[in-house]
Amino acid sequence: MVDKATEIKSVKVDGTPARGSFIQAVAAVVWKDLRAEFRSRELFSAMLVFSLLIILIFNFALELDVKTRRSVTAGVLWATFAFAGTLGLNRSMAIEKDRGCMDGLLLAPVDRSAIYFGKVISNLIFMLIVEVIVLPVYSALYAINLFQPGLILVILLGSIGYVSVGTLLSAMSVQTRTRDILLPILLFPVAIPVLLAAVKASNGFLTGAEWAEILLPLNLLIAYDVIFIAVAFMVFDHVVEE
């Protein structure tokens, strides 16, 4: 298998950082992750199977009427997305570490924030693909229409916030021996604001709540996304140096 770091270095012509653009470096990281995943299908298959198992378990456990099922849909969906996303984030960085590619990425002549944004985008793509498959399956099992523009917007914003902070914490925990346990311990408390706002906004769209009731959690979700991305951007360089 081609060394992943080679693809990052190829963005530069003579190995000089001044000749490559930031966007090209981010695109190289994303393309490297997508190529590696499409060859192995290790990360995506684990996330998808885990997600389908969760919604099937909830389907058999929640033998409720249609109205009650609609009221718990937001919580079930985001529990599924959160656990599957955590699994994907953990494996994404663990693969880099186990194959010795993380050192190559850090040695590449690019701004390290480009590595962060590249990993965020690739992890977000994997998570969105899983969500695109989960939504119609959930709709069929629970007889609920989840293809609503407002709900899709909330899922996108929530996924961005969850992946942005998860990628940072995954880069931090991957250096430890207990990375599989440490990441959820670090991630869930930090991601609670995103999950709560996403569940509240999703439930508002599903139950047909007033726009004023949906607007507050939606604004909070956007604010948390901006804050988490900004903080992760500022501290990522220090995290990977440790």
The tens digit of pLDDT for each residue in 115-173 reads 899 899 999 999 999 999 999 999 888 888 888 999 999 999 999 999 999 999 988 88
What Rg value do the Cα atoms of the chain yield, rounded? 19
Q: What is the mean pLDDT of residues 219-223?
A: 95
What pLDDT is stored for residue 224 in this prediction?
A: 94
| Range 98-117 average pLDDT | 76
Mean pLDDT of all residues in 28-44: 85
Mean pLDDT over 222-233 rounds to 92
pLDDT top residue among 20 and 79: 79
pLDDT at 13: 37
Helix, coil or strand: residue 233: helix
Residue 194's pLDDT band, with cuts at 50, 70 and 90, is very high
- Tell which residue, 233, 225, 242, has the closest CA to residue 111: 233
pTM listed for this prediction: 0.85
pLDDT averaged over every residue in the chain: 83
Q: How many domains does the chain have?
A: 1
Which tokens sit at 167? 């990628």
What's the pLDDT score for residue 151? 93
Question: Other C-beta atoms within 10 Å of 238: how many?
Answer: 10
* DSSP reduced 3-state for 242: coil
| Angle, alpha carbons 140-146-148 (nearest 5°) | 145
Q: Which amino acid is at 128?
A: L
The gap from C-alpha 234 to its chain's centroid, in whole angstroms, comes to: 19
pLDDT of residue 65: 63
- Dist. CA 104–CA 151, nearest whole Å: 39
Task: Express each pLDDT in 54-93 by its tens digit.
Answer: 988 887 877 666 667 777 889 999 999 999 999 888 888 8
Range of the domain at 40: 4-241
Residue 9: alpha-carbon gap to chain centroid:
25
